[in-house]
Amino acid sequence: MFENLTGRLGDVLSKLKGRGALSEKDVDEAMREVRRALLEADVALPVAKSFIDKVRARAIGHEVLKSVTPGQQVIKIVHDELVEMLGGAEADTSISLRAAAPVVIMMVGLQGSGKTTSTAKIAKRMTTRDKRRIMMASLDTRRPAAQEQLKILGEQAGVATLPIVAGQQPVQIAKRAVEAARLGGFDVLMLDTAGRIHIDEDLMAEVAQVRDAANPHETLLVADSLTGQDAVNVAEQFNARIGVTGIVLTRVDGDGRGGAALSMRAVTGVPIKLLGTGEKMDALEDFRADRVAGRILGMGDVVSLVEKAAETIDADKANKMAERMRKGQFDLDDMAEQLAQMGRMGGMKGVLGLLPGVGKAQMQAAQAHMDDKVVKRQGAIISSMTKEERRNPKVLNASRKKRIARGSGTEVQEINRLLKMHRQMADMMKAMGRQKGGMLSKLFGG
Ligand code: GDP
């Protein structure tokens, strides 16, 4: 969803990154381009303006412009302010269930926004992950098949639904649902209210009546991110009239421009709690402002990576290793150190998940080659070698390989695979070492 914005911001910020010194004018110029990129992504004008003002005020501060890496600092400020705009890294976006059972969650939104689907997704997750007993009820008496649709989704998701009684009005159904959930010992009751194509007074009056009858603990507005600013307007109106405690933003898997996600929180003051990422029942994600900001800047979860690396990497060792890599002296001892480091950073999955530009497919491909068990065996192989063999793998002939296989409880084939991987890594390291601003310097801050 953020591809365009990511591209635009990437262009602007990479111009800053390489600079040794920045002037106020450089910052202003960059900010003008950032502002244009935000507006093109359909971010609300006042939100874009306030964002730029905040970034600018911090970026032209004395410490930043005079620092050794002003470009990097500005990028960090943009990142931090994006996180703020999205609601802050510490924001509690969980759905609160701290109330007397049955806790009522009322789902509201326009027709077609993904309300019924999201209701079932949330119910399914609370059932399987949180081990709660959930009942769902559809209050949509306008659309003939709406109640039936929720029942079918409930059957698919393994979640109970309130039996359908023909001819009842929304408020009656809501009251019956609360009673049924109480008698049935359910922890949570989810009410899927009716939607309309547009907001109208009829709809608002109906939803307000249901709210008063059912007294919901959470009111979640479901909004379609593809509708951009309209989604934000809808959220504002629902919040003003009904009171909304959280937003579920759907279709973020689509090719929307991101404006809804970016300005929703700032305009409405209501936190985005969940993202709908597909049609399937498990296509639901918790909203994390820092993750999304990282995605927008195309940096993966850079901040976590930098923090994690700082926790686990001994700076001295890292510098020495970076130096050796630049010279193309990456031997098997270095490789063993890298494998151990990877273990400390949560294995392959931990590292890959944090790297910029590593998508799901690449991650799966890499994991197929290198799961964590394989990584452990590779460590065992290397420690069965003599010092000379580790320094200079070329001496490894057939009889030496057999000895190592016996020593490490592996096969010669596996040793050959490891040697091939080492050669590939050595080549890659050499190439990365030469490349300024490449992965190595990102990791080691060089
Ligand atoms: P409602 O009228 O608001 O209840 O909307 P529905 O829940 O019936 O959803 C309308 C359509 O949008 C259905 O085809 C859903 O499968 C689809 N849908 C809902 N959420 C998402 C989402 O996050 N991503 C995608 N791609 N489709 C979704």
From 1, 117, 253, give the residue whose CB has the most ligand 1 atoms within 8 Å, as the site to mutate.
117
- What is the average pLDDT across 158-183? 96
Indicate if ipTM > 0.95.
Answer: yes
- What is the average pLDDT across 282-300? 82
| The pair of three-digit structure tokens given for residue 28, joined into one six-digit string | 């202003």
**Percent of the chain topping pLDDT 70:** 82
Rounded CA separation 186/150 (Å): 18
> What size, in residues, is the chain?
446
Rounded CA separation 246/228 (Å): 18
Domain identity same for 107 and 34:
no
pLDDT at 357: 47
pLDDT tens sequence across 354-388? 554 444 555 555 555 566 677 788 888 999 999 99
Q: Which residues line ligand 1 (CB under 6 A)?
A: 109, 111-117, 195, 250-251, 253-254, 276-279, 283
- Is residue 57 a part of any domain in this protein? yes
Query: Which atom from ligand 1 is nearest to the alpha carbon of 117?
Result: 7
Specify the range with the lowest mean pLDDT, choosing from 19-33, 214-228, 266-280, 292-306: 292-306
Could you list the residue range(s) of the whole structural domain that residue 66 is in? 3-85
pLDDT at 434: 61
- What is the average pLDDT across 235-262? 91
Domain identity same for 248 and 174:
yes
In 10 A of CB 422, how many CB atoms? Answer: 18
Instruction: Tell which residue, 12, 1, 74, has the closest CA to residue 37.
Output: 12
Between 261 and 324, residue with greater pLDDT = 261
pLDDT at 164: 94
pLDDT tens sequence across 73-93? 788 888 899 999 999 988 778
pLDDT at 312: 52
In 10 A of CB 168, how many CB atoms? Answer: 15
pTM: 0.70
Domain identity same for 324 and 285:
no
CATH of the domain at 418: 1.10.260.30
Domain identity same for 332 and 199:
no
Domain identity same for 241 and 269:
yes
Domain identity same for 153 and 243:
yes
pLDDT at 45: 92
Domain identity same for 292 and 323:
no
Instruction: Reduce the DSSP state of residue 164 to 3 states and report it.
Output: coil
Helices and strands of the chain, counted as H and E runs: 22, 8
CA 93 to centroid of chain Cα atoms: 13
Query: Which atom from ligand 1 is nearest to the alpha carbon of 277?
Result: 23
pLDDT at 441: 44
Q: How many domains does the chain have?
A: 3
- What is the average pLDDT across 41-59? 92
Domain end (from 85, 116, 131): 85
Minimum CA distance residue for ligand 1 atom 6: 114
Mean pLDDT, the chain, whole residue set: 84
Domain identity same for 281 and 340:
no
| The pair of three-digit structure tokens given for residue 93, joined into one six-digit string | 């976006």
From 150, 272, 279, give the residue whose CB has the most ligand 1 atoms within 8 Å, as the site to mutate.
279
- Is residue 92 a part of any domain in this protein? no
Q: How far is the CA of 193 from the centre of ligand 1 (A)?
A: 15
Rounded CA separation 254/250 (Å): 9
Looking at residue 395, what DSSP letter applies?
G
Domain identity same for 111 and 127:
yes
Rounded CA separation 64/103 (Å): 49
Q: Which residues contact 47 (CB under 8 A, 6 or more apart)?
A: 38, 85, 262, 263, 266, 267
| CA atoms lying within 13 Å on the CB side of residue 197 | 0
CA 1 to centroid of chain Cα atoms: 12
Q: Say if residue 439's pLDDT is above 90.
A: no
CATH of the domain at 36: 1.20.120.140
Instruction: Reduce the DSSP state of residue 161 to 3 states and report it.
Output: strand
CA distances, 114 to each of 121, 143, 156, 205, 221 (Å):
10, 15, 17, 21, 10
Looking at residue 108, what DSSP letter applies?
E
Between 436 and 6, residue with greater pLDDT = 6
Specify the range with the lowest mean pLDDT, choosing from 64-73, 169-178, 211-220, 275-284: 64-73
pLDDT tens sequence across 122-132? 999 999 988 99
